[in-house]
Amino acid sequence: MIEFYGYFRSSCAYRCRIALNLKDVPHSFHSVHLRRNGGEHKSEAFLRVNPQGLVPALRDGALLLNQSLAIIEWLDETQPGLAFLPPDPAAKAQVRAFAQMIACDIHPLQNLRVLQYLGNEFDADQSAKDAWCQQWIGDGLAACESVLARQKDPSEFCFGNAPGLADICLVPQMFSAARFGVDTSKMPRLNAVYSACQNLPAFADAAPSKQPDSET
Amino acid sequence: MIEFYGYFRSSCAYRCRIALNLKDVPHSFHSVHLRRNGGEHKSEAFLRVNPQGLVPALRDGALLLNQSLAIIEWLDETQPGLAFLPPDPAAKAQVRAFAQMIACDIHPLQNLRVLQYLGNEFDADQSAKDAWCQQWIGDGLAACESVLARQKDPSEFCFGNAPGLADICLVPQMFSAARFGVDTSKMPRLNAVYSACQNLPAFADAAPSKQPDSET
């Protein structure tokens, strides 16, 4: 059975939880607590699973995988059910680009290790950290909104009438936006997609507060 | 003909240049200077190409694409020649994960806009910015080295005996590592792959100093 390593608050683990739910993949869960025991992600045991020392990670027999987008595309290619990407290369590239706008240009900047560095090395207090996050999340989501605003016929989800890779990345990022006090009131398409997703159990059940390791 | 928008020093544009060269794709080049005219990537003209206001971007007729990894996988799926990814889903996921370790967890933190923010908001001087870059690039590349060190039979390139997506991402990141003074002396596999790549014209010709908009 697939073993999934995550942490309730990790945005990247949240993406994978949605993907696992959308495909209804049986799996076991290993909690990797980022703030306990000096950071369980830095333990020798976990570094053998993922030398990068970050969640999420996935084990399937001898196969070890890290990086949420790689995990999600692997699930898409190996598990039956809903397709996370359209088959046409151009359409597929646009969905991937949207996901990467979040995964490469927004989320990495709000990561726990980055916020800890800002505090330790630049004496950033909570309000300075929040301003930092608001800058990158706000700018990044505004660009995401602009991309969707170019569509001639707005669909229920980011790209089409079923959820896919773009929505899988958007929902955890919108959740983080709220957590860091980002104003998303001028992002009607993103909010509409977020609401549509939250109506689906695969998304709602993946929320941080619903996880066995949740502290909220 | 494909139109490519880039900047000589952009690590993400560098990745795309390697991919275009490896596939020998005819294309025209538009220079988007990140430091001139208040940043040409922020111009209205360029924002119509890429609402995110970042290079690289690509236009193919009516198709507009952004995000380097999405562009590279689109090239892989639509252009003949060398395959950037292996066909097997598990092997493919491992190559993608390696590329994403660079594209999601190293490079975004050394981006120009991020370093500018550190200077403007946290009074970071050049040595503080270098220390920041050294932290994320050094940790990230050490994890990349660990991933390759797990392979039973080291190959000439990251994964196998032909270059692919992982190498396409690694070479610009190693170039940046040297630029920011990161010590890579304990990363023998990465250095061996870097050397093997530099022996190929597709990689060597994509170097920042070889570009028409180069200032070095």
**Rounded percentage of chain B residues whose pLDDT exceeds 70:** 100
Could you tell me which residues come within 8 angstroms of residue B201 by beta carbon, excluding any fewer than 6 positions away? B21
Has the ipTM of the complex gone over 0.90? yes
Tens-digit pLDDT profile for residues A57-70: 999 999 999 999 99
Instruction: Using the predicted structure, report yes or no on whether residue B14 has a pLDDT greater than 90.
Output: yes
Q: What does the alpha-carbon distance between residue A9 and residue A35 come to, in Å, rounded to a whole number?
A: 11
> What is the per-residue pLDDT for A22?
98
Residue with tokens 């104003």: A183
Q: Does A189 touch chain B (CB under 8 A)?
A: no
Instruction: Using the predicted structure, report yes or no on whether residue B216 has a pLDDT greater than 80.
Output: no
Helix (H, G, I), strand (E, B) or coil at A206: coil
Split at pLDDT 50, 70, 90, the class of A36 is: confident
Residue A60 and residue A54 in contact, taking contact as beta carbons nearer than 8 Å: no
Q: Give the B window 91-150 contacts with A, CB below 8 Å.
A: 92-94, 96-97, 100-101, 103-105, 107-109, 114, 117-118, 121-122, 124, 128, 131-132, 135, 140, 143, 146-147, 150
Q: What does the alpha-carbon distance between residue A109 and residue A98 come to, in Å, rounded to a whole number?
A: 17
Q: Does B173 touch chain A (CB under 8 A)?
A: no
Q: Which of B33, B29, B40, B41 is nearest to B3 (CA)?
A: B29
Residue A102 and residue B102 in contact, taking contact as beta carbons nearer than 8 Å: no
Asked if the Cβ–Cβ distance from A73 to B96 is below 8 Å, we say yes
Mean pLDDT of A141-162: 95
B100 contacts on A by Cβ (under 8 Å): 67, 69-70, 103
Mean pLDDT of B62-77: 97
Tens-digit pLDDT profile for residues B158-214: 999 999 999 999 999 999 999 999 999 999 999 999 999 999 999 999 999 999 999
Instruction: Using the predicted structure, report yes or no on whether residue B74 has a pLDDT greater than 80.
Output: yes
pTM above 0.90, yes or no: yes
Helix (H, G, I), strand (E, B) or coil at B150: coil
Could you tell me which residues come within 8 angstroms of residue B148 by beta carbon, excluding any fewer than 6 positions away? B98, B154, B158, B189, B190, B193
Token reading at B47: 């924002």
What ranges in chain B are assigned the alpha helix state H? 11-23, 44-49, 68-78, 89-105, 112-122, 126-149, 165-179, 188-198, 201-204
Residue with tokens 């073993």: A3
Instruction: Using the predicted structure, report yes or no on whether residue A39 has a pLDDT greater than 90.
Output: no
> What is the per-residue pLDDT for B37?
79
